[in-house]
């Protein structure tokens, strides 16, 4: 046995993305291993291997809220053997297959994602329902926007479906993660990545705590996109309803996620007020995604 430290916890699919995002707030340095567990009370096992000298107490303090809300089990510490780190499990969502980077791609709709602290591992229900709606509503050669790109998984999915993609996130960690995922999947010629937001979105800070990122580039909401996908928080959708409407071409499609069923009616009403008509929806657990078409 080595004296390398391993921190271990069980997690729900939703909890995994929260672990990644919370670790990003403390600039976590180290490796992350995520694996599905059969026959256990927690569907996933997360192992963390902090870099030498990293303050372990800060990890425990940061992740405690997830234990309290029952998204993870209590954090446990072990002396670890040297291990090979797997980025995430392989999962299938419609025509898409999400794999760690060392896997052999199965077809043109394979999405490879490595270890990242950005939100959007492919395991969170909001990501899954977004992928399902993209699979149904995106056509090749569309000009698309991934707003709040996170890990970059939705950007890569749209590129694999034949779209040209602008991927933006106001979080620099997420923008870097998107760029890495795009390169990993070989779709650099189809995806333009930048730190920024759409219209009023550039005025918001970090989605989790509101902390400022300083001056963030803004995409002007002029009619330039055939489809926008935005997996972000509910209050941001409400604020950006007019920006969505102005950024889409006539009859453009808006796919939104990142909220639960209890916010769907409020969000749908805000979109209807600026000219959108709902055309589709997906739900997993309590998480909702809706597709709207601009009615003019």
User: pLDDT by residue (tens digit) across 221-269?
Assistant: 888 999 999 999 899 999 999 999 999 999 999 999 989 899 999 999 9
pLDDT score at 174 = 85
- The average confidence (pLDDT) of the chain is 85
pLDDT score at 23 = 87
Q: Where are the domains of the chain?
A: 4-80, 91-294
Whole-prediction pTM value? 0.73
Tell the CATH topology of 91-294: Rossmann fold (3.40.50)
pLDDT score at 150 = 87
User: Identical fold at 4-80 and 91-294?
Assistant: no
Least confident of 86-100, 122-136, 139-153, 228-242: 86-100
How far apart CA 123 and CA 76 sit, in angstroms, is 23
Query: Following DSSP, what letter does each residue of the chain receive, concatenated?
Result: ---EEEEEEEE-HHHHHHHHHHHHHTT--EEEEEEE-TTSSSSEEEEEEEPTT--HHHHHHHHHHHHHTTSBPPPEEEEE---PPP----EEETTEEEE-TTSPP-STTEEE----SSS--S-SHHHHHHHHHHHHH--TT-EEEEES-TTSHHHHHHHHTT-EEEEEESSHHHHHHHHHHHHHTT-TTTEEEEEEEEGGGGG---TTT----SS-EEE---S-EEEEEEE--HHHHHHHHHHHHHHEEEEEEEEEEEEEHHHHHHHHHHHHHTTEEEEEEEEETTEEEEEEEE--
Q: Taking residues 208-218, report their average pLDDT.
A: 58
Note whether 171 and 233 are within 8 A (CB).
no
Q: Taking residues 162-170, report their average pLDDT.
A: 95
Confidence class for position 84, pLDDT limits 50, 70, 90 = very low
Nearest of 292, 272, 291, 274 to residue 282 by alpha carbon: 291
Tell the CATH topology of 4-80: Alpha-Beta Plaits (3.30.70)
pLDDT score at 53 = 76
Confidence class for position 209, pLDDT limits 50, 70, 90 = very low
pLDDT greater than 70 at residue 80: no
Q: Taking residues 164-180, report their average pLDDT.
A: 91
pLDDT score at 144 = 98
Q: Taking residues 181-196, report their average pLDDT.
A: 95
Nearest of 51, 49, 40 to residue 11 by alpha carbon: 40
């Amino acid at each position: 046995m080595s004296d390398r430290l391993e921190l271990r916890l069980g997690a729900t699919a939703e909890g995994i993305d929260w672990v990644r995002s919370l670790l990003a707030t403390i600039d976590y340095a180290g490796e992350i291993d995520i694996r599905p567990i059969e026959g256990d009370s927690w569907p996933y096992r997360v192992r963390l291997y902090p870099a030498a000298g990293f303050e372990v107490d800060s990890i425990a303090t940061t992740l405690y809220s997830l234990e309290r809300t029952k998204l993870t089990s209590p954090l446990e510490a072990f002396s670890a053997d040297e291990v090979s780190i797997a980025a995430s499990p392989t999962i299938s969502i419609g025509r898409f297959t999400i794999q760690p980077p060392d896997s052999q791609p199965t077809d043109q709709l394979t999405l490879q994602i490595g270890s990242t602290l950005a939100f959007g591992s492919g395991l969170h229900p909001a990501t899954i329902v977004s992928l399902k709606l993209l699979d149904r509503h995106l056509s090749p050669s569309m000009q698309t926007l991934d707003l709040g790109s996170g890990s970059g998984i939705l950007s890569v999915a749209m590129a694999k479906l034949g779209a040209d993609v602008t991927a933006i996130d106001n979080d620099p960690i997420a923008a870097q993660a998107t760029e890495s995922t795009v390169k990993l999947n070989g779709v650099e010629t189809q995806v333009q990545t930048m730190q920024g937001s759409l219209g009023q979105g550039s005025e918001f800070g970090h989605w989790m705590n509101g902390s400022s990122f300083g001056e963030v580039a803004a995409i002007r909401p002029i009619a330039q996109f055939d489809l926008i996908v935005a997996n972000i928080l509910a209050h941001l959708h409400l604020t950006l309803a007019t920006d969505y409407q102005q950024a889409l071409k006539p009859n453009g499609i808006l796919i939104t996620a990142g909220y639960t069923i209890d916010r769907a009616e409020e969000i749908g009403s805000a979109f209807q007020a600026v000219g959108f008509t709902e055309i589709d929806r997906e739900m997993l657990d309590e998480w909702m995604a809706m597709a709207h078409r601009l009615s003019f």
